[in-house]
Amino acid sequence: MSDATLIAHLALLLLIPFTWYAFRERRPAVAALWVIFGSVLFLPEHAYFKIPTLPPFSKQSLPFLCVLAALWLTDPEIIRRARPFRGFDLIVLIPVFAGPFTALTNMDDLQFGVYERTYCQAMSIKDGWALGLSNLFLIWVPFFVGRALFSNGRDLRDLLKFLAWCGILYTPLMLYEVRFSPQLHRMVYGYMAHVDFLGTIRWGGYRPMVFMEHGLAAALFMYVAWASAVLLAREKAMIGRFKSTHVAPVLTVMLVMAKSTGVLAFALMTALPLWKSKPRPLLLGAVVAATLVMLYPVLRATDIFPTMDLYDFVRQKIDEDRAASILFRFINEDLLLEKARERAWFGWGYYGRNRVYDAMSGKDISVTDGYWIIILGVQGAVSTLAAFWTLLGPAYSAFRRLRAIPAADRLMVAGLALIVVVVTIDLIPNGLFSVYPYFLAGCLWGTLTGLTRTAAS
């Protein structure tokens, strides 16, 4: 068990009977949404159960494992029809198989510093298998659950409606924390999810977190809910008892209240395409953005990306503090990239081996913010490429197969593809706060597969 409170661990345990209840009362796709996003929105951060030789079971991995177990027990035919470990799954599984290779290439002890020394222990084969299993639980299982359960236009609309409904559900909680500061996690579970309270203060007020690890995570999820509501508003669909044309403006206000400059930039850039664009131009924009994301590590590694030009633009046009933050990230990326090049294929592994230490004092002088630089340093280029292609590959496939999709479903497919790409873009400056992006990518892939098969038959 972790050091979290007893009530936090009890909340994790209650997920098991809740999963049983959800699958008894709802059809599998909707039941999975209740379990997965109920966990994302309300389960405690930093609480987990640990079984020897296995990765921790936390709100990141446990919901998807519960859903997979429920499917196996209640309707195993869904799993058989999805044909696990075949096709695109082989790409998704690359980080799983790469784990042992990371261990094999990092079986040396490291030490840094002269006046004081910092030691980083060697990895073992056991560590390599643990890394591979972690990737299985956090990448493949969410993706597989999504592609197994979502296969048609009805499922896709249920997904978007549920995401928008989650935004409605979170609205009063976020408004409470905007007024009284992020305290709900402490009030319910007895401890703060994020120890840096100053990080919750933005724009002269508080940035809400509710039950997520960081205010940035809450803001990004609100973007997902808002974009879903905008897409549904184009069809004038109902979101529960609410009209989507009423929900979208409310969630627009909540995007501002979430106080994330990056998320607001995403909303400003995608609002008009989501509301007005036809499916093909919408997908084209998603594919262009996906290509830039895939190229970003290469551009940074070769010093082609215009870091200083971006810094100067933000400093002159937006805000000097924001520009300083961007420059700080770029400087740390440069340090970590130089270190990552030394073991480019499979990374440096666990135990802080990927970080940069001062040659004299031995102190850690690096800060890892972006998910891409974290996974590149720890697991190398092989796993990084596979992890990001898992997220972005379905968008390329949607663009290629758009004409094979029934006309009534094309807009929703294109919209979900754009949402997944935007969430992936956020992994460049920020960490992977939750693994639901892999689930959404799986939902997109499963819907594409199901719709194209139906159209061909």
| pLDDT class of 457 with cuts at 50, 70, 90 | low
- Specify the range with the lowest mean pLDDT, choosing from 194-203, 217-226, 352-361, 439-448: 194-203
Asked if residues 233 and 245 have their Cβ atoms less than 8 Å apart, the reply is yes
Q: What is the pLDDT of residues 236-268, one digit of tens each?
A: 998 988 999 999 999 999 999 998 888 999 999
Question: What is the model's pLDDT at position 366?
Answer: 85
Residue 125 or residue 198, greater confidence? 125
Which pLDDT belongs to residue 455? 62
Lookup result for tokens 């299985």: 136
- Give the mean pLDDT of 351-370: 87
Q: What does the pLDDT read at residue 159?
A: 97
Instruction: List Cα–Cα distances, 111 to 116, 121, 311, in angstroms.
Output: 10, 9, 35
pTM to 2 decimals?
A: 0.95
Q: How far is CA 309 from CA 215, 333, 452, in A?
A: 28, 16, 43
Burial of residue 204, with CB atoms counted within 10 A of its CB: 0-12 exposed, 13-18 middle, 19 or more buried? exposed
- Cβ burial of 244 (10 Å; 0-12, 13-18, 19+) is buried
State how far the Cα of 266 lies from the Cα of 26, in Å rounded to an integer.
34
Confidence grade of residue 456 (pLDDT, cut at 50, 70, 90): low
Whether 215 contacts 182, CB under 8 Å: yes
List, in sequence order, every beta strand (DSSP E) within 113-191.
118-120
Question: Above pLDDT 90, what percent of the chain?
Answer: 73
pLDDT value for 323: 76
Task: Kindly tell me if the per-residue pLDDT of 173 is higher than 80.
Answer: yes
Could you tell me if 201 and 263 are in contact, meaning their C-beta atoms sit under 8 angstroms apart? Answer: no
Across the range 69-83, mean pLDDT stands at 94
Tokens 């098991």 found at: 16
pLDDT of amino acid 332: 86
pLDDT tens profile 294-323 = 998 888 877 777 778 777 777 776 777 777
Between helices 371-400 and 320-341, what is the axis angle to 10°? 90
* Average pLDDT of the residues of the chain: 91
Could you report the per-residue pLDDT of 84-113, keeping only the tens digit for each? 999 999 999 999 999 999 999 999 999 988
